[in-house]
Structure 1
Amino acid sequence: MGSKYPKSLRIFLPFWALILETAFILIFYFFTSYEIRSKKLELLETYSAFQDINVMAVLGLGFLKASLRRYAWSSVAFNLFTLALGVQWAIILDGFLFSYSGEKITINIQRIIRGTMSAMSVLISSGATLGKVNLVQLIVMTLLEVTVFQGTKFSLTFLKQNDHQSMMQIHMFAAYFGVATAWCLSGPGPDAAKEKEQRATTSTLFTTLGTLFLWIFWPTFNSALLDYPSEKETAVSNTYYALAVSAVVAMSFSAASHSEGKISMNHVYRAMLAGGVAVGVATNLIYSPWIAMVLGFLAAMISIIGAKCLPVMGYRLEGCLNRIIGLHDTCEVHSTFGLPGLLGGLTYIVLIAEQANWTKVSTAGFQILLSAGCVALTMATGLAGGVLTGSILRLNLWKAPHAAKYFDDQAFWKFPHLAVGF
């Protein structure tokens, strides 16, 4: 018996992917070279950070999105595909925007780390569109989002932001980019799509596993781009304190928000990461553990409140955002990354204001204005880039899956047999 799923990507996907990889190879051939000299000790220290961030990207964010019972294969594998493509493009853009001077761009492990972290913006955003786009659309989304994010980072250098601060804006940028893209792609779904979007025990365990990977390695992510050992140590400590408080608050507040006092695993694997998101941009400015702990406390509560009061989970829940603007956010990236990231941005402004030199009021005011401008610019570029990307992805050119094939692995994968439940 033949499959009811069309062979829509048989020629289209290899054509675009192979053409793109050929272009990347040529760019690396003509414009890049390896760094010749490197100290072994420095390499080993940097490689450890690279490993941690890679685990976050491949396993953490991959399994975090594997909660749909009929879309687990695609969630994990498409995440890896997007990362592999995005890293190459991010390294090219990073080299041309930040260090190109007519000579070849030097490739070292630090640049690969920055490329991986930049590509993670797409991994976060794709959670909002999960199950509704094919690989060709993900290729387009990756190229556009990494370009916009690198452009945003470059713009932030004019607002006196260093590499760490501009990179830590990634959570807020990616969340609002993904939400805006999902809004452009959202529409009324058939009953079959609603049924396939349900969660299952096994897939929820995968999501919990991804959350644990992210929870363990998040201190590395928040400290990798800092220059001084003392700053790195402060960032690691602050991130860990915030994550610890978030984990406790996630479970306790989830139980408090349920009529029968039961804990929602959906709240747990979203809110327990909120502390790491919230302290990111200001983690080296936080001078006492209690501040990081308060941020973790507030971020977890905001994440759960956002998930309950502003539900954008799709067709199953008719929340206020869903009714008013027709938004569909499959993995709730808004409450997981967007709201805690916004809290972190506001905290950064407050800490800059507190530590400013108020003997010179004009200078202090200028610093606060720059900080507020960074947060506003990040959110604005995320929303604008997401709307542009979503509008492009709606074009028939990309052979988007029909709504009846949403959240279904069989639309893309060869199954050895038609298993029960598929």
Structure 2
Amino acid sequence: MLFLSNIKNTVLLSFLICWGCGNQAKSTKEKTTLDSETATPLAIKPITVAANRTAAYLPLLQGKKIAIVANQTSVIFTENGHAHLVDSLLALNVNIKKVFAPEHGFRGDVDAGEKVLDGTDPKTGLPLISLYGKNRKPSQEHLEDIDAVLFDIQDVGVRFYTYIATLQLVMEACAEKGIPVIVLDRPNPNAHYVDGPSMDAAHTGFLGMTEIPLVYGMTIGEYAQMINEEGWLENGLKADLQVIPLENWTRNMTYHLPIRPSPNLPNDTAIHLYPSLGLFEGTNVNAGRGTEFQFQRYGASFMDSAQYDFSYVPQPNFGSKTPKEKGKTCYGKDLSAIPRMNEVSLQWLMDAYENTTDKSKFFLTSGFTKHAGTEKLQKQIEAGLSEAEIKATWLADLEAFKLIRAKYLRYE
């Protein structure tokens, strides 16, 4: 704590460390839950996210010019709620020079797929550099006056959720510049399983930078180490990487996210269904955008109304200015009561395809391939393969990935 310049900041740092030791007392009851199979407590101590472990990373920021990759989930939890990491570090006289903003923006209020613009944060006055516009990767000029980059974003463990692509590109840019990267780890609410089709090398891109399964079962800190050690950065580079681990968490815990990680993931049900219903993003079927039940329902006007007793009408709202099937009556299914998922399910995608009155309207082939990571899945569905037959074709890739993944797991 010697780097703090006065008694006021010393007291504030001590207060932050106390938060870190206890995480958020108010939400302890939500976070320390029961295993659905054993019905026994999974934890005695509350989960502590890495951002709360200020004593572990503040010394790494001492006397340095810092850039932060952050959004609305980048918070330190308190007994009464939370404080944004940027605000907290500024109060401690950490020299933050700029913020890199990922998809959905620094404050998390930009639509999916909508470009994030450079600008200035009105609250802090810090420059905001977009990593979801003309640049997906920090330029060497962006890093010219930076000594270290701090990365803290809540992930949900799905390959096409773009924050892991942002992480990889940030690590790559920092490796090129010789700048350390510090990743603050957070729980992954879908860390309890590995499933789905694996990305084919021919289709890698921002919806999947590497050949991993759709659901990879790792925290963002574990994944960062795998990127680094497996040589996935361009030209064989390796970042100067340090991961600050979280505490008192295991991957089989249910974990409630107190802040929605993006505009169209409003609750736990949506987050758990996202790996399965996210595949609808590569089709013309609406997956709940334009309603208050995003990724908890699906439907379309061109699906057979005689097969469904549920319908809804998407309208522009927060997170979706132009939802698919806007203003049209969509026939489909309500999945808002579905329990926590332990696998990627194809049953709803296959149901929608089967009951589409004009199948030529169903797939957006390029978009579907980017989300699935392979051309095979669309062809398998069109050929009428069963879900079991399709899943059998994933097994070899899943087992090979699990062997690699096992080297980087830090939590039980």
Q: Which TM class, normalised by the smaller chain length?
A: under 0.3
Q: Which of the two has greater helix per residue?
A: 1
Higher relative contact order (CA 8 A, sep 6+): 1
TM-score, normalised with respect to structure 1: 0.27
Q: Which of the two has greater strand per residue?
A: 2
